[in-house]
C-alpha cells in the first residue's frame, strides 16, 4: 500500500529542520574563543615600591653603625656579648640589608681576625692562630683571604723556627733569671747561626732585650730585627728554613 503525504510540504520541512540540528555535534570550544576567561590585558611591568625609612629608623641605623665602627677599632669583634662589632653591624643589616658601611664593617672584622691569626703564627702560637682563623670563618667562610691566610699559617708551622715566649713582668724587672734566659737564647742563635726576631710591647724593652743578648755572646754579631707587639717573644729563624 502506498503512503500518502499531506499536501503541506513546506510545513514538513520546517518541522524536520530542528531535529536535524539537534543531531549535529556541537563544535568544540576553541582556546581562542575566550568563553568564560577573564580579560587578559597585559599589565605593564612596574618597579616595586621603595619602602621609605623613617627618620627615627635612619637615626637608629646610624647609631648602630657608629657603635660597630667604634667596636671594630677597639678589637671588640665578637665579644663581649651585645657590645661587639659583629652584633652592631648585623642589627644594622637587619634593618637595611644593603647598607654599604655595615657590609664593609663585616669584611673589616674578617680581615682583622686574619691579621690576628697571622700575628699569632709568627709568635709560634699556632693554637691561637687556628682559633682566630675559625672566628674569621664564622663571619664569612667564603672570604677569599681566608685560604691565603691558612696557607701562610701552615708555612709558619712547618718552618722549623724556634720560639721563646718571654714574661713581660720578668723583663721589666730585669733580674738575673731573665738575663740568664736571654743569654741562653743568644748562645742558641750563635750556635745555629740563626736570624733573630725580638717582639716586645715597646721599643725600650725590645732594645734592652737585644743589648743583653749581644753582651752574652762577645765577638759574635747577632743578626736580626725588632718589632713592637703586644707579646714579648724571641723567634730564631734557622738558616735552612
Dump pLDDT digits (tens) for 168-192. Answer: 999 999 999 999 999 999 999 999 9
pLDDT tens digit sequence for 103-148: 999 999 999 999 999 999 988 889 999 999 999 999 999 999 999 9
| pLDDT for the residue numbered 30 | 41
| pLDDT for the residue numbered 123 | 85
User: What is the share, in percent, of the chain residues with pLDDT greater than 70?
Assistant: 77
User: What is the share, in percent, of the chain residues with pLDDT greater than 90?
Assistant: 70
- What is the average pLDDT across 205-232? 94
Mapped to the 3 state alphabet, what secondary structure does the chain carry?
A: CCCCCCCCHHHHHHHHHHHHHHHCCCCCCCCCCCCCCCCCCCCCCCCCCCCCCCHHHHHHHHHHHHHHHHHHHCCCCCCCCCCCHHHHHHHHHHHCCCCHHHHHHHHHHHHHHHHHHHHHHHCCCHHHHHHHHHHHHHHCCCCHHHHHHHHHHHHHHCCCCEEEECCHHHHHHCCHHHHHHHHHHHHHHHHHCCEEEEEECCHHHHHHHHHHHHHHCCCCCCEEEEEECCCCEEEEECCCC
| pLDDT for the residue numbered 49 | 54
Residue 16 has pLDDT above 80, yes or no: no
pLDDT tens digit sequence for 96-111: 999 999 999 999 999 9
pLDDT tens digit sequence for 17-57: 444 444 444 444 444 444 343 343 444 455 555 566 688 89
- What is the average pLDDT across 45-72? 82
Residue 13 has pLDDT above 60, yes or no: no
| pLDDT for the residue numbered 231 | 86
Q: Are strands 223-228 and 195-200 parallel, antiparallel or unpaired?
A: parallel
Residue 12 has pLDDT above 50, yes or no: no
| pLDDT for the residue numbered 221 | 95
| pLDDT for the residue numbered 48 | 53
- What is the average pLDDT across 219-239? 92
Q: Are 92 and 129 in contact (CB under 8 A)?
A: no
Q: Are 109 and 76 in contact (CB under 8 A)?
A: no
Q: What angle do CA 235, 210, 159 make, to 5 degrees?
A: 10
Residue 90 has pLDDT above 90, yes or no: yes
Residue 10 has pLDDT above 80, yes or no: no
Each domain of the chain, given as residue ranges in start order, spans 55-157, 162-237
Residue 11 has pLDDT above 50, yes or no: no
Residue 200 backbone dihedrals phi, psi, to 5 degrees? -155, 160
Mean pLDDT of the chain, nearest integer:
84
Cis status, amide bond into 80, omega within 30 of 0: yes
- What is the average pLDDT across 208-225? 96
Task: Name the strands in the sheet holding 233-237, side by side, starting at the edge strand that comes first in the sequence.
Answer: 162-165, 233-237, 195-200, 223-228
Q: Are 125 and 141 in contact (CB under 8 A)?
A: no
- The set of cell numbers assigned to 164 is 721563646
| pLDDT for the residue numbered 55 | 87
Amino acid at each position: 500500500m502506498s503512503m500518502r503525504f499531506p499536501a503541506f510540504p513546506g510545513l514538513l520541512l520546517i518541522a524536520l529542520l530542528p531535529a536535524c540540528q539537534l543531531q549535529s555535534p556541537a563544535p568544540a570550544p576553541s582556546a581562542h574563543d575566550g568563553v568564560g576567561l577573564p580579560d587578559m590585558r597585559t599589565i605593564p611591568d612596574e618597579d616595586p615600591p621603595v619602602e621609605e625609612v623613617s627618620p627615627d629608623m635612619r637615626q637608629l641605623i646610624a647609631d648602630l653603625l657608629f657603635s660597630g665602627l667604634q667596636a671594630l677599632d677597639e678589637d671588640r669583634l665578637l665579644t663581649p656579648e651585645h657590645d661587639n662589632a659583629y652584633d652592631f653591624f648585623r642589627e644594622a643589616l637587619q634593618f637595611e640589608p644593603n647598607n654599604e658601611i655595615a657590609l664593609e664593617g663585616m669584611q673589616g672584622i674578617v680581615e682583622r681576625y686574619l691579621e690576628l691569626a697571622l700575628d699569632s703564627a709568627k709568635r709560634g702560637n699556632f693554637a691561637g692562630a687556628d682559633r682566630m682563623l675559625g672566628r674569621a670563618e664564622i663571619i664569612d667562610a667564603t672570604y677569599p683571604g681566608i685560604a691565603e691566610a691558612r696557607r701562610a699559617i701552615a708555612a709558619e708551622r712547618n718552618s722549623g723556627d724556634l720560639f721563646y715566649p718571654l714574661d713581660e713582668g720578668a723583663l721589666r724587672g730585669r733580674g738575673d733569671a731573665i738575663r740568664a734566659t736571654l743569654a741562653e737564647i743568644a748562645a742558641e742563635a750563635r750556635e745555629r747561626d740563626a736570624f733573630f726576631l725580638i717582639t716586645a710591647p715597646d721599643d725600650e724593652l725590645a732594645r734592652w732585650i737585644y743589648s743583653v743578648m749581644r753582651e752574652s755572646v762577645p765577638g759574635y754579631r747577632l743578626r736580626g730585627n725588632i718589632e713592637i707587639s703586644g707579646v714579648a717573644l724571641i723567634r730564631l729563624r734557622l738558616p735552612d728554613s
